[in-house]
Amino acid sequence: MKTGLIIRHTPYEGLAGFREPIEAAGYVLDRVDVSDPNFASLDFDAPDLLLMMGGPMGVYEHEAHPWIAHEIERLAERIDRGLPTLGVCLGAQMIAAAMGAEVRPGAVKEIGFSPVTLNPAGADSPLRHVAEVPVLHWHGDTFDLPDNVELLASTAAYPHQAFRRGPELLALQFHAEMGEDPRFDAWIENGPDFIAEAGSSPEYLYDAHRALGPGAVVAGQAMIGEWLRGL
């Protein structure tokens, strides 16, 4: 039996559309919230697959969230061992930090559905499934590219949208898992200031979610399915 563990940094940012291809690949999934008392003693090396999801906090907000430093330390040990790990948004930033890269506020807030631009390495990777597909962006932080990784995708505002190291490590700044999850309501409800800073509106985002979300999820599921087959 293959095991997968979801690290959830906030209740409304879960596995969403990625659950289907991961379970179809034979993984039995469990989940832990960073607020869970058991999180402090969690063995990051135990699951066959670790899934680091998003969250509204910044990797650099150690004082407000004391668990961050401990999470980065344990994640670094897993990465050093070459164990399969996926990071989404905050999860990708956590991976970058665990690999020694700086994470910091970006110049702008990037919110809404739009494609990422794949470089040649990205076009020859599982990300080929999201080529030209509008996927959800919901971030205001960026990171330096860690050493010894391969950049896969960019946008004009955020040049580091995805990277990988070998077949076992994949970090995605964008949310290809989102598009049909009812928890999108909570994203809107919890982010009015963030949405306004990005120059967007709840009405626009709801319309885009209805029109573009299903296609984004199909593409994201194909991407994750291919990545899993390569492990």
Q: What is the mean pLDDT of residues 207-220?
A: 98
- Residue 142's pLDDT band, with cuts at 50, 70 and 90, is very high
The CATH number assigned to the domain holding 197 equals 3.40.50.880
pLDDT at residue 4, as a whole number: 98
24-69 pLDDT, tens digit per residue, is 999 999 999 999 999 999 999 999 999 999 999 999 999 999 999 9
Q: Could you tell me where the beta strands, DSSP code E, fall in 75-209?
A: 85-88, 103-114, 117-118, 135-143, 150-154, 162-165, 169-172
Domains in the chain, number: 1
> Each residue of 15-51: b (16+ CB within 10 Å) or e?
bbbbbebbeebebebeeeebeeeeeeebebeebebbb
Average pLDDT, the chain: 97
Q: What is the mean pLDDT of residues 2-6?
A: 98
66-116 pLDDT, tens digit per residue, is 999 999 999 999 999 999 999 999 999 999 999 999 999 999 999 999 999
Share of the chain above pLDDT 70, in %: 100
Find the domain containing 164 and state its range. 2-229
- Residue 203's pLDDT band, with cuts at 50, 70 and 90, is very high
